Structure 1
Amino acid sequence: MARHFEGAVFDEEVRSFSVALSLVLYRFHGTESFTPMSKPQGSHPIPLIRLEQTQPLIYEVYSKLHIQEALKSNLSRLDMINITSWSSYTVGLFWLRKNQHFEIPEDYFIAGSMQRPEMLAYHKYIVDIWDEIKPRIDEVKRINDEHSELKFSPQYRKILEDVVLETGN
C-alpha cells in the first residue's frame, strides 16, 4: 500500500485492507467460538490466531518505519489501532449475521495475544522453533530485507522466559 497511495487515499486504503484481511480470515473461521490452544498444531495457525497476529502488524510496521510522515497520512498509531480493531469486530458481526447466527459465541472476537494466557505458551513454541530454524533460513534466503523477516523483541522474549511449555504431544 505504501508504494501506491498517500494522504487521504492511503488512510482509506488502510481501512479497506484491514476490513478485507478480517473478512478473509473470519470467512475461514466460520461462526464458532475461538478455540484456545497453547501449542501450535498443523502447518498454519487457525484463522483467528492469524488475525490477532496480522492486524497489529499494520500499525507496528507503519509506526516503526515512520511511514505516516512520508505518506502524508493523518492517521496516528492510535487511529490505526482503532481501525484494525473495529474492522475485525465489524467483520465478525457481519459474518455472524450473514450466516444467520444471531447470538455471539463466547470469545468470538480477537482479543490480542497478551489477553489470552494460552497464547504466551503458543508464542514460546513459535519463538523456540524460529530460533532453531533461523540459521538455516539465513543460509538459503535470497533477499535480505530486515523488514520482511520475523522478529521477536527482547522485551517480548523476556515475557516468554517464564512460560512453561507442555511436555509430550
Structure 2
Amino acid sequence: MRQMWRDAENFCEFVRTIPANGDVDKLYDFYGDREKLPKCFSAEDQVKNLFIAAMTWVYFHEIGHLMQEHGYIRARYGSGNAQGANEVHDCESNAENQLTGTAAVVSHVTELAADFEATNFYLMELIRHIINPDFVAEEKKGEISCGLVYLMLCGLSIVFFRFNGSMPLVPSAVPQGSHPNPMIRLEINIPHVFEILDIKGIRELTGHGLDRKQLVLLCGKAVFTATLYWSMTKTAEKKFDNRFMVRGLLTNPVVLEYLVPIVKCWDEILPEIKKIRRFGSPLGLLTFTDEFRERITKKEIWGEGPESRKS
C-alpha cells in the first residue's frame, strides 16, 4: 500500500514536470489536448484519487477471485485436483519457478476474469457516487466523471506494471508464469471501460457527454500517460518505448497467438464458474465476442505460426 501511494505521488510529479512544447508534450496533440491530469481536482486530490482508485480496483480484483472460486478452479483445471484449493496469490510476479503449460493458462485466464469483475465493480461504484448529489453537484457530474475515470485508468496501469515485478513487459505468444502481461491486461480492460461508459443510460447518469471516439481517446490518453511514466522512470533504459503503446488486442500477431488457448480455456471453465459464482452482474463476466473469436482463430492473419515470424 505504501508503494502504491509513492507511485501515485511520483506519477503526478512526473506528469507535472513534462516540459511544455517539448517532444513528449506534443505527443498529446493526438488526444485532442495536452492536459495530463484532470483540472477539476487540486494537486493533492489528484494524488489521493489516483491512489484510492488503484487500491479500490485491487480490492475488487480480490473479490473477483473469491466470488468465482478461482482457487478451486485453478486446482481443478490447472492441476486436476480440486481438494484443498482455497488460495490465490497475486504477488507472485517473478521470473523464478514460473508456471507453464495448462497451469499457466488457467492462472492467466482467472486473473483476466478477476480483472474484468474488478473493472465492472469499480465503474458501478463510481457511477453510484457520481449520481449522489451529496458527493457531486449536478453541474459538475460530467467533468468529475471523466476526471475519475482518467485517474482510475492511470492507477490501474501502474498497478499492472508494479505487480508485473521483474517479468518482461513485452507480450509473449505463450502463457507463462502466474499473471498475464500488463499490456494484455490493459488491452482487455480499456474496452470494458469505454463499452460501459458508452451505454446511453450510463452517459445520462454520469453526464459525461462523450461520444464513443472521445471515450476511446480519454482512456487511451490515461494509459499512454501511465506507460510514459513507467517506461521513462522504472525501466533500465529510462526512455519511452513505443512497444508500450496501446494499439488494440487484434493488431499484434503475438497477442493473437497468446489468446487462442486463453479463449479456449475460458470457454471450458465458464459453465463451472457460472454455477459457483456467488453474486454479480452479467457485465462482470469476462466476454469474448464472436467477431473476436473469429479473428484470433484465423492464423492466416499472421502466418502459419511462430516459424513464419523468424523470417
Contact 2:173-2:258 within 8 A present in 1 as well: yes
Q: Give 4+ residue runs of structure 1 displaced > 6 Å after superposition.
A: 30-33
**What amino acid sits opposite 2:221 in the alignment?**
W
Cα deviations by residue, 1:97-133 (Å, 9 ceiling, x for unpaired):
3348443335133322112111112222111001111
> Is 1:150 aligned to residue 286 of structure 2?
yes
**What amino acid sits opposite 2:274 in the alignment?**
D
How do residues 1-169 of structure 1 correspond to structure 2 at under 5 angstroms?
1-5=126-130, 6-29=141-164, 34-64=169-199, 66-99=201-234, 101-105=237-241, 107-143=243-279, 145-163=281-299
In structure 1, the gaps of 5 or more residues are none
**What amino acid sits opposite 1:141 in the alignment?**
R
**RMSD value over aligned CA atoms?**
2.7
Contact 2:153-2:222 within 8 A present in 1 as well: yes
Identify if the C-alpha distance between structure 1 residues 141 and 24 changes in structure 2 by more than 3 Å, giving closer, same or farther. Answer: closer
For 1:134 and 1:47, the matched residues in 2 are separated by: 23
User: If each structure's helix is expressed as a fraction of its own residues, which one has the higher value?
Assistant: 2
**What amino acid sits opposite 2:202 in the alignment?**
I
In structure 2, the gaps of 5 or more residues are 1-125, 131-140, 307-311
**What amino acid sits opposite 2:156 in the alignment?**
L
Alignment length, in residue pairs?
Answer: 166
Contact 2:173-2:257 within 8 A present in 1 as well: yes
For 2:196 and 2:169, the matched residues in 1 are separated by: 26
For 2:271 and 2:167, the matched residues in 1 are separated by: 38
Describe the SS at the equivalent of 2:127: coil
For 2:179 and 2:238, the matched residues in 1 are separated by: 29
Describe the SS at the equivalent of 1:44: coil
Q: Which has the higher contact order (CA 8 A, sep 6+)?
A: 1
TM-score for the superposition, normalised by structure 2: 0.47
What is the CA distance between 1:144 and its match in structure 2? 5.3
Describe the SS at the equivalent of 2:198: helix
TM-score for the superposition, normalised by structure 1: 0.82
**What amino acid sits opposite 1:3 in the alignment?**
R
Contact 1:34-1:48 within 8 A present in 2 as well: yes
